[in-house]
Amino acid sequence: MCAFGGLFSPTFPLAELPQVNLTNGQIQTTLYLPDADKGYYRGTRFDWAGAFKNLDYKGHTFIEPWFDNYDPKLHDAISGPVEEFTPLGYADAKPGSTFVKIGVGTLRKSEDKPYAFAKYYDVADPGKWQLKEHNDYIDFTHELSDNATGYGYVYRKTVRLTKGKSELVLEHSLKNTGKLPIETSVYNHNFFIIDKQPTGPTVTVQFPFDVKAEGKGFGSTILAQGNRLVYSRELEKKENVYSAGLQGFGPTATDYDIRIENQKTGAGVHITSDQPLQKLVYWACATTSCPEPYIHLIASPGQEVKWKIAYEFYEKTK
């Protein structure tokens, strides 16, 4: 569910939850820490490492809750740049047996139906988390041992504020320690809310290529104009737009280059990666505009793969 940007006040208690503050002198941010018993996010959709509470730069705000309702096991009760891996072994698992979500753990398949990201699956094994906290970065390590699924891994993610820059970097590595090869896709949902402004004509999303888009609301509420997406009006509460795949990007990492800007306040975020786009989904509601860039990962047993995503925060010169 989506609320109007800046017009809601979450009533759930957040101060007591495990969290850490990071700053590099330019950016200030708070992250919730993974905890199977008392963590802020205990849903089974998104990676538990690096759930953001807030992020500020030069008086501009970029991250806050975009939703009305909160429950620690609700699939989308999470903010900021947050990642989801497609499941491993779900199609082959029988009801009652298990499958794997990287960054979450081993989950139990409840019924003979296709995987549904909005459904909560019981966690059979949350794996082991190790954290190393620093002033301007935090290291997360999630280890899941090879089990009945045949999958095992060591997943490392560093959330880093670059020294001397207005930049946030997510550094990842995934080592396959199981018997089966790992093939998955991972995307970042990018739940940014810039300066509490609602989704509408003040928000633009820009790419390095001419973008083509089809889907719910495209061509009417949201328009492709050259290399930009623009809105014809503000979205209403509970309204959303969606495209299962924007088109126009090429096979190299240079097209993983996205800018989300608020033209009213002049604040923006520039998103890049060292990996090419596999696909580019787009979703927005009344509070947040979310390009969802996917990358494809393959790791044979014993192999390690690495990737990086960078976020540069800026203020446009008026």
Please give the residue range of the domain that contains residue 219.
Answer: 203-287
Q: What is d(CA 44, CA 119) in angstroms, rounded to the nearest whole number?
A: 8
Does some domain include residue 230?
Answer: yes
pLDDT band at residue 318 using 50, 70 and 90 as cut-offs:
low
Residue 10: pLDDT above 60? no
Per-residue pLDDT tens over the stretch 99-112: 999 999 999 999 99
The pLDDT of residue 184 is 98
Does some domain include residue 239?
Answer: yes
The pLDDT of residue 8 is 41
Residue 298: pLDDT above 90? yes
Does some domain include residue 303?
Answer: no
Does some domain include residue 43?
Answer: no
Does some domain include residue 107?
Answer: no
The secondary structure of the chain, three-state, reads: CECCCCCCCCCCCCCCCCEEEEECCCEEEEEECCCCCCCCCCCCCCCCCCEEEEEEECCEEEECCCECCCCCCCCCCCEECCEEECCECCCCCCCCCEEEECCCEEEECCCCCCCCCCCCCCEEECCEEEEEECCCEEEEEEEECCCCCCCCEEEEEEEEECCCCCEEEEEEEEEECCCCCEEEEEEECCECCCCCCCCCCCEEEECCCCCECCCECECCCEEEECCEEEECCCCCCCCEEEECCCECCCCCHHHCEEEEEECCCCEEEEEEECCCCCEEEEEEECCCEEEEEEEEEEECCCCEEEEEEEEEEEECCC
Q: What is d(CA 308, CA 276) in angstroms, rounded to the nearest whole number?
A: 11
Does some domain include residue 266?
Answer: yes
Per-residue pLDDT tens over the stretch 46-96: 999 989 999 999 999 999 999 988 999 999 999 989 999 999 999 999 999
How many domains, the chain?
Answer: 1
Does some domain include residue 197?
Answer: no
- The average confidence (pLDDT) of the chain is 94
Residue 147: pLDDT above 90? no
Does some domain include residue 175?
Answer: no
Residue 141: pLDDT above 60? yes
